[in-house]
Amino acid sequence: MVIQASPSMLWHFVAYKKSVLRRIMNDILHEDTSGVLLRDALGIIYISDKASAKNYLETKMWMTMELPETLEQDQLEKLWRLFSRMITFIEDYVSKATSAYLPRAYLGIPDILNGSGSYFKGQRLDTEAVRFMSLTRAERHRFLGAFAKYELFCKVYYPRKRFPEEWLNIQKQLLAISKGSDLMIMNSVHEYYQGVYGALFAHCQESWLPDIPETPKKERSLDANIRKSSRYPLLFPDNTYFSAEVYEADMEIYGRYLAHELHRFGLDCLSQILSFMNEAAGREHILKAWLKTLSLRFGMPWTCLLPKNPVKRELRHYSRLRDNGDELEDGEIREDHSGNSFVNLTSGKHQLPIYRQRARALFDDNRLYPKHGNHFPTLDELAGTIKELKKTLAPNVERSRRRSQK
């Protein structure tokens, strides 16, 4: 706005644009001593179609690409556009991951046009924003590296039907391209992107925005003045983990597997959908009608080849993952003292997605997480919650009711 109002400011910006962008890039790439982040970003910019994606793989550009000693202005501008777009999503992810009540925060659609937080059906959410520059240098590099690698794979392994014999080669390529980076951490990025699509699904139906739970000092009666979403709060796992799958099912669009497919189109597709939703109110019906037309069965996505169990490096970040000692380093679940290994197995299935949705392995420490509540439940705590849920009559039906205004 200042530049539009002042011709002199515009002149100064144009005159010093290259030096400003170079300084920004130097700061972003400060921790990139290996050149992996820059090489991935240049790879993303290079891949513009199927032919360039094929050439990237055939020539092993993740290894053979020579990094320029000095970035030219056009490269600086393209890199800045790419990184700034990623940073918008990183800020949204960090804000949601560290929010007081994650199921409420994840229902918000990020405002990527103005960067003013997130909203739910026109209502601005009270999720406390965490800005990119409030992260440590190491955290900024870790988040950008993970988001860049994820986008690179979306570009390289674009959605198409593949033969079964191709998957072994793809798995080898994933490991080769990810050499020197943490392939496991991309599971966290994947959880976030699925969550954004889940929020879009929720906007296309009569979903509630759940209230942040309070710990009452005494039992409350079901007073008519209490909001319905407070009187009938979300049930487990919806009150702990935000699932795009269940909100897709609530839309009653069957056989599309949108929660498993849409993320494969990367940032371009997601940004276009969000921009469409941000531009004007009341576009949910148009989005739902479009989603109904999609047929996206491309076979197994590349994300299915990501390692599923936590490796030692990830376990170091998940400080509460093994507090009760009932999960092994290779992900095997120990039988508890009562012999009920099934409950532990089920709780273990929930725990990793919960931690990854909270970006646990991407932060240096716990400083940004809420100081109250149970943000990182142990296996024993989850097992107890699952046992309590089983006392509910038709729990899946009741869960769906509590997600909806119907």
- Whole-angstrom Cα distance, residue 71 to residue 45? 14
Q: How many other CB atoms sit within 10 Å of the CB of residue 192?
A: 24
pLDDT score at 351: 86
183 pLDDT higher than 60: yes
For residue 266, tell me if it sits in a domain. yes
The count of structural domains within the chain is 1
For residue 312, tell me if it sits in a domain. no
pLDDT digits (tens, 9 = 90+) for 14-56: 667 888 899 999 999 999 999 999 999 999 999 999 999 999 9
pLDDT score at 201: 95
pLDDT digits (tens, 9 = 90+) for 249-295: 998 887 778 998 899 999 999 999 999 998 877 888 899 999 988 87
For residue 368, tell me if it sits in a domain. no
| Structural domain for 37, as ranges | 22-65+77-213+245-307
321 pLDDT higher than 70: no
Higher pLDDT, 247 or 339: 247
- Whole-angstrom Cα distance, residue 129 to residue 126? 9
Share of the chain above pLDDT 90, in %: 45
pTM, to two decimals: 0.85
pLDDT score at 47: 96
Q: How many other CB atoms sit within 10 Å of the CB of residue 318?
A: 18
For residue 314, tell me if it sits in a domain. no
257: left (phi over 0), alpha (psi -120 to 50) or beta: left
For residue 255, tell me if it sits in a domain. yes
What does the mean pLDDT of the chain come to? 82
For residue 133, tell me if it sits in a domain. yes
8 Å CB contact between 278 and 320: no
For residue 315, tell me if it sits in a domain. no
- Closest Cα partner for 104 from 124, 86, 89? 124
pLDDT score at 221: 44
Let me know if 102 is exposed, middle or buried by CB neighbors in 10 A (0-12, 13-18, 19+).
Answer: buried
For residue 277, tell me if it sits in a domain. yes
Categorize the per-residue pLDDT at 180 as very low, low, confident or very high, splitting at 50, 70 and 90.
Answer: low
219 pLDDT higher than 50: no
Higher pLDDT, 8 or 351: 351
- Whole-angstrom Cα distance, residue 32 to residue 28? 8
pLDDT score at 312: 55
pLDDT score at 314: 55
CA atoms within 13 A on the CB side of 75: 14
Instruction: Determine the residue type at 20.
Output: V
pLDDT score at 81: 95
Categorize the per-residue pLDDT at 227 as very low, low, confident or very high, splitting at 50, 70 and 90.
Answer: low
Residue 229, H or E segment: helix 228-231
Categorize the per-residue pLDDT at 389 as very low, low, confident or very high, splitting at 50, 70 and 90.
Answer: confident
281: left (phi over 0), alpha (psi -120 to 50) or beta: beta
pLDDT digits (tens, 9 = 90+) for 62-105: 999 999 988 989 999 999 999 999 999 999 999 999 999 999 99
pLDDT score at 159: 81
366 pLDDT higher than 50: yes
